[in-house]
Amino acid sequence: MGMRRHGGPTALSRERQKLSRSLRVLLGRTLSYLGRFKRQVVVAAILVLIATVVTAVDPLVLSWGIDLVLAPSSLFSGLFLLGIIYVVLRLTSWVLRSLYTWVFSGAQAGFVQLLQKSVYNRLVRADLSYHKSEQSGDVTSRVVSDTDTLGAGIQIIIDFSSQFLLLIATVIIMWATAPSVALTALIVVPVVILIVFLFGTVGQRTMLATRRALGHVSGQIAENLSGVQIAKAFNREEETAATLHKLNQEAYRHGFSFMMLMTLMQPLVRATGIAAVAAVLFVGGSLAVGTAPLLTLGEVFLGTILIQRFLRPLLHLSMMATQFQASMASMDRLLDVLEKEPTVTNSSKAIPLDPDSDGITFEDVTFAYVDGIDVLKDVSFLVNPGEMVAIVGHTGAGKTTIAALINRFYDPQQGAILIGDQDIREVTLESLHDTIALIAQEPYLFDDTVMENIRYGRPTASDQEVIKLCRLIGAHQFIEVLPQNYDTMLTEGGKNLSVGQVQMIAIARTMLADPKILILDEATSRLDAYSESLVQAAQEKLFANRTTVVIAHRLTTIANASRILVFDHGKLIEQGTHKELLALGGKYKAVYDTYYAHQSVDELSEEAIRVAQEELAGTHQKPQVKRTSRKGGPHGPRHH
C-alpha cells in the first residue's frame, strides 16, 4: 500500500505516453470486433448518411423562400409549398437520426459486451505471473472504463463519415450557388488546420497520459481498500492517503492540461466562426447591392448558413480526432491484455490425464520466478499413490512454489513433474485440475451464500451432501448459528466471518470436489486449536487412500505424515518420518527444537482430538479445551 514501485508517480512519469501500436493495427483490431455487428452498423451508417444529405439540402429551401418573399409577384401557394418541403425535410432528418440512434445503440452495446467478454476471458486464463504484476484496479479499469471509451469511439467513426459528407455537400452547394462565398470560406482553413494539429498531437498525448494515470489511481484505490486493516494497525492512513493524493495529482495534471487545451480552443473556434460569417456578410452584401446585384438576399442568407455548416463539420472533425485518439488509446491498453499470451497452455499433443494416474514425481526440477534467482534447485522426490507427505522449511524455502508447480500454475525451467507416468505438460489443464485440488494459504470466498460457496467445489452436489460433509469436518456447528445458517450471504472474501470460519468453508469446498490428489498449503494455519482438532479428526476418513501433500509449519498438521520433506533455500536436504528426522539430528531436528517443540503437540492431540471425536459423534456440547500456548501458558478455547 503506497509502497509498491510501479504504482507511484515516478513510475508513472516514466511510462510510455505514446501508442505502442500503429493506428492501422489498432483500427484494424477494432473493426474486426465490430465486424460481428456488420449488418447493424451498415444500416445505421446508411440512415445517418441519408439524414446528412437531407440536412445539407434544407438551407436551400429557406434561401428560395426568402427570395420568393422579396419577389414582386410572390405567391402564397409557392411559400406554402416551400414551407411543407422544409418541414418534411426536417422531419425526415429527425426520423432517420432517431432510427440511426436506435439501430446503432444495439450494435454499440453488443460491441462493448463482446470486447468486455474477450478481455475478461483472457484475464481469467492469464498466467498468475501476469496478475501478480498488475494492480487489480488497473485491470478492472481496462475491462470497464476502456471498453466503454472504445464503444464511444465506434460511434465517432460513423459520425466522422457523416460530418465529412456534410462538409463535402456544403462545399458543393456553396460552389454551385455562390462561388465567391465558397472562396471566402477558405480564410478559415488555416485556422482549422491549426486546431486539427493541436488536437491530433498534443491532445493525443495528453489524453493517453490521462487514461493511464486514471488506471493507476483505480489500482491504488483497490489496493488501499484491500489493505485498510493493515494501514490502521500500523497507523499508516496518512501515508496511504498521501500516496493516493500524489497519483491523483498526476492524473489531475494530465486532465488539467487537456482541459486547458480545450479552453484555448473555444475562443479560437468562436473567433473563427465570427470572422467567417463577417467575411461572408461583407462579400455577399457587397455583391447583393447596386443596380446589377450578383447575389440575391436569399443567396446571402444561404451563404451565412452554409459557412457555419462548413465550419461546424471542420471543427467537429478536429474534436473527433481527439476522441478517436482516446478510443485508440483504450484499444492500445486492451490489446496489452488481449495479446498477452499465457505461457502455461495445453500443448498441441495434450491428452486427458489417465483416470488411473496417481502419485507425484519431481525429476530434477529447477524453477525461478525471475531469471537468475532460482526458487527451487534440482529438486527430485516421489509421492506414492495414497501417501500423505508433509513439506516443511523456513519461509522462502520453496514450499508454496511446489504447490503451484503441481497445479501447473507455472512451468519449471528445467526438469519434469509427473502424475503417475504422465508429464503434466503433456496432459490437458482441465483434466489436471479435475484431479488435483488445492486448499490455499489465503482462502477466498465469493459474494454468495455459504451453501453456494461450498458447492463451488462440485456444482452438482445436493444440499444434503454439503451438510453431511460439513458435519464430518466440524463446520456445521458454526454454520447453523449464522443468521440464515447455510443461506447466509457472505461479503467479498468472507469478511463477515472469522478467519478460521473462512478457512473451514474453503476446506469443505475442496473436500466436496473429492479430488484424487490433494494439496494443502498452510491449510490449517489460521485455525485455532479447537477448529484444527475437528479437521484432524476427520482427516483419516477424508484422506484415506488419497495422495496428499501438506505444506505446513504446525506440527499438529504434519506429525502423522508418512514422510516429511525438508527444504532449505530451494533444495531438498532431508526426508523421512518424524522420528527418523529427529534421530538424524539435522535441519529438521533444529527446526523442531526451535519451533515445533513449543507447540505441545502431545497435549493438544490427546485432549483436542478426544473432544473432536465426541463432537463428531454428537455427544459433546461446546467443550472447554485446555491447551498450552507456545510460551507454555494455559489458554481457554477460541470459539467462532
CATH number at residue 596: 3.40.50.300
- 423 φ, ψ (degrees, to nearest 5): -70, 130
Handedness of CA 117, 491, 132, 438 (dihedral sign): negative
- State residue 278's pLDDT score: 75
Q: Give residue-wise pLDDT tens across range 62-71.
A: 777 776 766 6
As a whole number of Å, the CA-based R_g of the chain is 36
Non-local (6+) Cβ contacts of 467 within 8 A are: 476, 486
Q: pLDDT tens across 38-57, in order? A: 888 888 888 888 888 888 77
Query: 351: which DSSP letter?
Result: B
Q: Give tens-digit pLDDT for 216-228.
A: 666 666 666 666 6
The pLDDT value recorded for residue 573 is 92
pLDDT (0 to 100) of residue 577: 87
Q: How high is the pLDDT of residue 347?
A: 83
- The verdict on 39 and 140 lying in the same domain is yes
Q: Judge whether 538 lies within some domain.
A: yes
Alpha-carbon distance of 574 to 584, in angstroms, equals: 9
Q: Which residues, at least 6 apart from 627, have a Cβ–Cβ distance to it below 8 Å?
A: 529, 600, 603, 604, 607, 608, 634, 635, 637
Q: Do 283 and 370 fall within a single domain?
A: no
Mean pLDDT on 157-178: 75
The residue type found at 199 is F
For the stretch 387-440, pLDDT in tens is 889 898 887 788 888 988 998 888 899 999 999 999 999 999 889 988 888 887
> Cα separation of 315 and 299, whole Å?
24
Find all residues with CB under 8 Å of 406, minimum gap 6, and list them: 360, 417, 424, 436, 517, 519, 549
Residue 324 shares a structural domain with residue 386: no
| Model confidence, pTM | 0.61
Q: Are the C-beta atoms of residues 248 and 219 closer than 8 Å to each other?
A: no
- Based on the fold, state whether residues 315 and 380 are members of the same structural domain: no
Residue 302 falls inside a structural domain = yes
Query: How many domains would you assign to the chain?
Result: 2
Strands (E), 552-632: 563-568, 571-576, 627-628
pLDDT attached to residue 383? 92
pLDDT at 73: 63
pLDDT at 15: 41
> Between 613 and 106, where is the model more confident?
106
* Average pLDDT of the segment spanning 66-91: 75
Which residues make Cβ contacts (< 8 Å) with residue 173, sequence separation at least 6? 56, 57, 59, 60, 302, 306
Residue 38, exposed/middle/buried by CB under 10 A (0-12, 13-18, 19+)? exposed
- Same domain flag for 45 and 159: yes
Count other Cβ atoms within 10 Å, centred on residue 287. 18
Greater confidence (280 vs 450) lies with: 450
Pairing mode, strands 376-383 and 360-367 = antiparallel
Q: Are residues 303 and 399 in the same domain?
A: no
pLDDT(460) > 80: yes
Please tell me the distance from the alpha carbon of residue 448 to that of residue 450, in angstroms, as a whole number.
Answer: 7
Q: Tell me which residue range forms the domain holding 564.
A: 360-441+515-619+626-631
Task: Say if residue 9's pLDDT is above 50.
Answer: no
Q: Which of 270-279, 286-295, 340-349 has the lowest mean pLDDT?
A: 286-295
- In-domain check, residue 638: no
Collapsed DSSP state (helix, strand, coil) of residue 423: strand
Handedness of CA 154, 156, 161, 162 (dihedral sign): positive
Mean pLDDT of the chain: 75
* In a shared domain, residues 316 and 402: no
Reference 551, options 441, 407, 412, 424; nearest CA is 441
DSSP-assigned states of every residue in 362-386: EEEEEE-SBTTB-SEEEEEEEE-TT
404 shares a domain with 255: no
Residues 332 and 432 in one domain: no
The larger pLDDT score, comparing residue 606 to residue 572, is at 572
> What per-residue confidence (pLDDT) applies to 365?
93
Q: Are residues 279 and 409 in the same domain?
A: no
**526 and 600 in a common domain:** yes
pLDDT in tens, 602-626: 444 444 445 444 544 444 444 443 3
**C-alpha pair distances (Å), 160 with each of 155, 157, 347:** 8, 5, 45
Is residue 473 in a domain? no
Classify residue 431: in a domain, yes or no: yes
Same domain, yes or no: 164 and 213? yes
Lowest-confidence segment of 166-180, 181-195, 440-454 by average pLDDT: 181-195
DSSP assigned state of 143 = I
Specify whether the CB–CB gap between 114 and 151 falls below 8 A. no
pLDDT in tens, 232-268: 665 666 777 777 777 777 777 777 777 777 677 667 7
pLDDT of residue 125: 76
- 344 confidence band (pLDDT: 50, 70, 90): confident
Task: Among 306, 338, 370, give the residue marking a domain's end.
Answer: 338
Mean of the pLDDT values across residues 109-125? Answer: 82
Question: What DSSP state is assigned to residue 410?
Answer: S
The pLDDT of residue 290 is: 54
Strand-pairing partners, residue 301, are none
Domain of 56, CATH number, reads: 1.20.1560.10
Buried b (16+ CB within 10 A) or exposed e, 437-446: bbbbbebebe
